[in-house]
Structure 1
Amino acid sequence: MFREMRRKKQLLPLEETIAVLDRRTSGVLALSGDDGYPYAVPLSYIHCDGRLYFHCAKSGHKLDALLANPKASFCVIDLDDVVPEEYTTYFRSVIVFGTLRVLEDEGEKRRAIEKLAAKYSPDHEEGRLKEIDREFKVLCMLEMSIEHMTGKEAIELVKQRG
């Protein structure tokens, strides 16, 4: 169903792919947008229990797109070092494919936003919980079930590892 990576030597092991998702703070969610145009939007996220979680407003282009077609991809860039003298970039990235859904259950929604908030504000529990309480009614949480993901890095980085 999903394409095999063409440059298999550059494939990151699953543990390293997950580590990229866990350490980074943003990525780009790609959806089928209006009139067949792709719609890609940068987002904060949390990777947890084999899923990705995002927050958004209860209306807008992103929500309209996922309601029309819940299939999506999400890309996270871990490393992007331009090496001019070598005419290349030393990169490391992850691409996730999956299906999105809006979390309708208030308990699921609450657990997801608390995990997301803790990632970005780990030392301010009281403040983040107050903010969640204040915004909870207008908040929409999205869950992406991961169906396929790959991590890839520049061949130069593969060679450095040995």
Structure 2
Amino acid sequence: MFRKMRRCKQELLIEERVAIMERCTNGVLACIGDENYPYAVPLSYVYFKDRIYFHSAKEGHKIDAIHKNPKVSFCVIDEDSIVSEEFTTYFRSVIAFGKSRITEGIEKLEAFEALVKKYSGNQPKEARHKEIVGCTNAIIIAIDVEYITGKEAIEYVNAKKH
């Protein structure tokens, strides 16, 4: 169903893909927007229990698109260093495909807690709890990942061999 990577030597191992998803702090959600135009929006997220979670307002372009067609992709760029003498970049990125949905109940609470924990740094537990309890205008969207792939520059592949 999903395409195999053309340059398979550059494909990241699943452990590397997961580590990147856990490490990165922002990504780009891509869905089908108004009049079937692609709609890609950068957002903060958390990779938690093999799913991608993000918060959103209860209405807007993103929510309309997800209701219209829950199939989405989500990509993160872990590394992108310009190597001017080679006229290129050394890169590492991951892309996930899946179906999006609005969470409810305990899943919503756990995902919200994971999001707050990721972005709260050294804030006290009480402050984190207050943020979760006080936020009534947001929803939490899950992406149930069906396929995840990642790729890195051939130079990184070659460096691993040595």
**TM-score normalised by L of structure 1:** 0.96
Give matches, 1:1-80, under 5 Å: 1-80=1-80
User: Helix, strand or coil: the match of 1:22?
Assistant: helix
Query: Residue deviations 1:107-152, cap 9 Å, x none?
Result: 22111101111011142221121111111x2111000000001010
Counterpart of 2:117 in 1: which secondary structure? helix
**Quick check: 1:156 aligned with 2:150?**
no
Please name the residue that 1:120 is paired with: 119
Indicate the SS of the match to 1:66: helix
Distance 2:116 2:67 in 1: 25
Distance 1:102 1:52 in 2: 12
Counterpart CA distance in 1 for 2:105 and 2:13 is 35
Aligned to 1:107: 106
- Where do 5+ consecutive residues of structure 1 fail to align? none
Report the Cα offset of residue 50 of structure 1.
1.0
SS at match of 1:65: helix
- What percentage of aligned pairs have identical amino acids? 54
What is the CA–CA distance in structure 1 between the aligned matches of 2:108 and 2:21, rounded to whole Å?
A: 21
Normalising by structure 2, we get a TM-score of 0.96
Aligned alpha-carbon RMSD (Å): 0.9
**How many Å separate the matches in 2 of 1:80 and 1:126?**
37
Structure 2 letter corresponding to 1:37: Y
